Structure 1
Amino acid sequence: MGVMRMGYAHVRVTDLAEAKAHYANTMGLYETHAEDGRVYYKGWDEWDHHSVVLEEGGVGVVKFGWKVRYSSDLDEIERRAQAFGVTVERMSRGENPEIGDGIRFTTPSEHVFEVYHEATLIGTEVGTHNPDAFPRHLVGVGVPGLDHALITAEDVKGMERFLTEVFDFYATERVQTSLEDDADYIGTWMTSNNQIHQLAVIGGPQGKLHHFAFKLGDWSEVGHAADLFSMDDVPIDVGPTRHGITRGQTVYFFDPSGNRNEVFAGGYLAYPDRPVHVWTPEQLGKGIFYHARELNDRFTTVLT
């Protein structure tokens, strides 16, 4: 079974025109489709039809899409989700533009997940025949693509078990109340491949979004993004800085509706047999913000 990656993040925004200015002009995403109240985007190095969907009318996450390697994976994930006690429904080709048949369910954290195998192939902005390293005329930050998301749940340990049993994810990093086997989980960072994390879960209200993130190449690109955020008056939450957890370099910031975004670079390669990095609460500040070594109230309380 193979969940390859987070295929799309579908979020609500209060003002679609303001959101389009942010995601297209500042972040540099490419618009691929628009319909009443919704706009679809992809990054320059993504080949499927879209990875971000903006829907006018509020804030927060509507749903996440997950792309699997084989069509048979849909049946296997459906079976596993039902065995876990989750109600699964089938979704048909076209319910999401340019996305094939799939399944849909609500997780124990009350987030909607859609799982699919087929998406319309558009291709990257540099193509596959003798491709250049990047497009010559990037706009704004010019993010290559969607990277990961962080959500909140009342039962972090239960969500880790769900993602393990249903998606074959494994934990790369974890925050625990202690080093004992029966410790409670404060946060977990999980993946199915070598990416340091595809989805992180921290303790908090059900169904909420902390942030969704775009990948960048290195420290210099993270710093350049921060400069552009200042030019465009984008509210910066934290950074540029480094995480202790994942070792990634980061800037957190807000879109015009108040949804938190991140640009993320670096991190180490994950493997299923690598021991989990375990952090305890007294070191959580250093784990999240390695340089400042402390959390601010806004970072831990602002959710959408």
Structure 2
Amino acid sequence: MALTGVLRPGHIALRVLEMGPALNHYVDVLGLIETARDDDGKRVFLKAWDEHDHHSVVLREADEAGMDYFGWKVDSNATLKKMAADIEDSGLCEDLQWIPSGEHPGTGERFRFTIPTGHVMELYAEKVILGNGCGTDGPNINPDPWPEGLKGIAPSRFDHALLYGDDLDGTVKLFTEVLGFSISERVVTKDNPDFMIGTFLTCSNKAHDVAFIRQPVKGKLHHASFELGSWEKVLRAGDILSRKRVKIDMGPTRHGITRGETIYFFDPSGNRNEVFGGGYIFYPDKPVITWYDETLGPAIFYHDRQLNDAFLSVFT
């Protein structure tokens, strides 16, 4: 099935307390590549090595850590206009506005809106293609498997985010009925299977492109995640984090949910990052996987099968 509508996560904008330490973390340790910055240096734009579009991470210096917004790339300007109208007609979102072309470097106009969990989302159709540096005869001519000069952990892409918010039902309704996402996995109470504690949503053939956990808060970030591709690379990431004296939150371990291999750690501002590999291929006819609240231990940490309260309660 050809991907249409919302194609993938396009960018995440994170607030950091100091730009210098943040750039050391995201460039030298995580291994993202700087592509642009504002004249005043308050925002810096980054990409992972195998992303062709101009940027996927925006860092903004602020007084409080967390996520400013999450951007989704759609397949065309016609889709952008239609989805903007559908979002408005749904009545599920607030603070609807158009962000003009060029407000992000190399990016067309964006449609921004606040979803029921309080997170700011945006859709866009156009972003300048920089390439991945693998082609010596041109961006996509006779390419090598990876470029020279990669730093640190070097994930291939920004992959997903896990977000905390209160109105999970309204947000799931928006993503499934308006934006065309599918539910790949869900966490429910055993006594009431219709009451979702968490949901994992995909617009592609990945296990998830975004996930939400029901919490009595608005607009909070649990983690931003970057893809590595293999268990071996996750273990190598653990070695790099230890060598660089970066605080490891959990892992390396495996999730029951999505089957991904994972390690979690924090940037200098307290934003949680994840790098992961594995998972499964999703197709729209795949049955939804259900986890009960009493099995959250193996659902989140499959190896030791135990919940970690700090992992659940720390967010920005």
TM-score scaled by length of structure 1? 0.97
Unpaired stretches in structure 1, ≥5 consecutive residues: none
Please name the residue that 2:235 is paired with. Answer: 223
Please name the residue that 1:67 is paired with. Answer: 73
Any idea what the Cα deviations from partners look like across 1:120-143, whole Å, max 9, x if unmatched? 111112131111111232211111
Question: Matched residues, percent identical?
Answer: 47
CA distance in 2, matches of 1:265, 1:185: 26
Any idea what the Cα deviations from partners look like across 1:5-25, whole Å, max 9, x if unmatched? 111010000111000000000
CA 167–176 in structure 1, closer or farther in 2 if over 3 Å, else same: same
Any idea what the Cα deviations from partners look like across 1:242-271, whole Å, max 9, x if unmatched? 000000000011001000000011100011
CA distance in 2, matches of 1:51, 1:283: 34
Structure 1 stretches (4+) deviating beyond 2 angstroms?
178-181
| 2:104 matches 1:96 | yes
Any idea what the Cα deviations from partners look like across 1:173-225, whole Å, max 9, x if unmatched? 000112755x2110000011101100000012110000010000100000000
Unpaired stretches in structure 2, ≥5 consecutive residues: none
CA distance in 1, matches of 2:212, 2:259: 17
Partner SS for 1:63 = strand
| 2:204 matches 1:201 | no
Please name the residue that 2:254 is paired with. Answer: 242
| 2:130 matches 1:125 | no
Partner SS for 2:258 = coil
Partner SS for 2:310 = helix
CA distance in 2, matches of 1:102, 1:54: 18
CA distance in 2, matches of 1:180, 1:61: 32
| 2:53 matches 1:48 | yes
CA distance in 2, matches of 1:71, 1:295: 44
Partner SS for 2:44 = strand
Tell me which amino acid in the other structure corresponds to 1:199: V
Which moved further from structure 2: 193-202 or 95-104? 95-104
| Residue number among 13, 17, 21 corresponding to 1:18 in the alignment | 21
TM-score scaled by length of structure 2? 0.93
Please name the residue that 2:119 is paired with. Answer: 111
Tell me which amino acid in the other structure corresponds to 1:133: P
| 2:80 matches 1:77 | no
CA distance in 2, matches of 1:297, 1:212: 19
CA distance in 2, matches of 1:207, 1:152: 7
**8 Å Cα contact 2:165-2:213 kept in structure 1:** yes
Please name the residue that 2:165 is paired with. Answer: 153
Tell me which amino acid in the other structure corresponds to 1:46: E
CA distance in 2, matches of 1:187, 1:52: 25
